[in-house]
């Protein structure tokens, strides 16, 4: 399988035997239960992909790598836009409220974080205080005025919404791009750096 995975993709195929010998017991339990791992934004050796294992508790996050040829299934955030969580929670109500606007925004969007994990896997990951994590694939620039308009809509939701703009050169938080600071934090597999234009390739090559 060619390594074309993106940050926030959920992957199945990891087994307890593939985890490092020093993996915590809770990580072994999560993988044994059939949970997917999530692709991390980090460098990895050829034939491997950086992934993270989720535990039941918020602080239970384990970073490791997975062989690309071990991947059996991949679900991307944009495949979860219209999936439904049966539980009635602030996150699920917020997603239902925002879905029509996101569908009509002209960009590809997706659900990540705990909501994406539960939508894709069926394993309970959400609670009453959970945020709604979203991504917006923005191969072309999103004007800062447009970002502010989008943020105003997201801030009407019943729970806190954290949306990441996925540019060709990394991810930037919508809330930062909509703010007044001249430079914003762009995160990619190599580094996190302050930039004035997340879509400018010359700025990242400097």
pLDDT digits (tens, 9 = 90+) for 76-133: 999 999 998 889 999 999 999 999 999 999 999 999 999 999 999 999 999 999 999 9
Mean pLDDT of the chain: 94
pLDDT at 2 > cutoff 50: no
Q: Using one digit for the tens of pLDDT, what is the confidence trace for 28-38?
A: 999 999 999 99
The continuous run of DSSP H or E covering 150 comes out as helix 144-154
pLDDT value of residue 143:
96
What is the 8-class DSSP label of residue 130? P
Domain boundaries, given as residue ranges, for the chain: 10-75, 77-205
Q: What is the mean pLDDT of residues 40-66?
A: 94
How many CA atoms, within 13 angstroms, populate the side-chain half-sphere of residue 86? Answer: 4
CB 169 within 8 A of CB 186: yes
Strands (E), the chain: 10-12, 37-39, 48-54, 61-67, 73-75, 108-111, 132-137, 161-167, 170-173, 184-187, 192-195
pLDDT value of residue 204:
59
CA distances to 53, 80, 98, 103, 135 from 108, in Å: 26, 12, 14, 8, 8
pTM for this structure? Answer: 0.93
What is the rounded distance in angstroms from the CA atom of residue 120 to the CA atom of residue 129?
20
pLDDT bin (cut points 50, 70, 90) of residue 151 is very high
Residues marked active site are found at 131, 133
Q: What's the chain's Rg over C-alpha atoms?
A: 17
């Amino acid at each position: 399988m060619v390594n074309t995975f993106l940050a926030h993709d959920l992957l199945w195929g990891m087994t307890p035997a593939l985890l490092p010998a020093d993996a915590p017991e809770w990580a072994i339990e999560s993988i044994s239960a059939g949970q997917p791992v999530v692709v991390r934004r980090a460098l990895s050796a050829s034939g491997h992909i950086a992934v993270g294992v989720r535990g039941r508790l918020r602080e239970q996050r384990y970073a490791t790598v997975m062989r690309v040829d071990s991947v059996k299934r991949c679900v991307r955030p944009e495949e979860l836009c219209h999936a439904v969580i049966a539980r009635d929670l602030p996150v699920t109500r917020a997603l239902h409220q925002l879905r029509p606007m996101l569908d009509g925004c002209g960009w590809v969007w997706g659900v990540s974080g705990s909501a994406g994990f539960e939508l894709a896997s069926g394993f309970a990951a959400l609670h009453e205080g959970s945020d709604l994590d979203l991504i917006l694939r923005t191969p072309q620039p999103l004007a800062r005025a447009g970002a502010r308009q989008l943020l105003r809509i997201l801030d009407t939701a019943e729970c806190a919404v954290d949306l990441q703009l996925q540019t060709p050169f990394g991810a930037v938080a919508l809330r930062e791009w909509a703010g007044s600071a001249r430079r914003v934090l762009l995160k990619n597999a190599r580094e996190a750096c302050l930039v004035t234009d997340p879509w400018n390739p010359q700025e990242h090559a400097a």
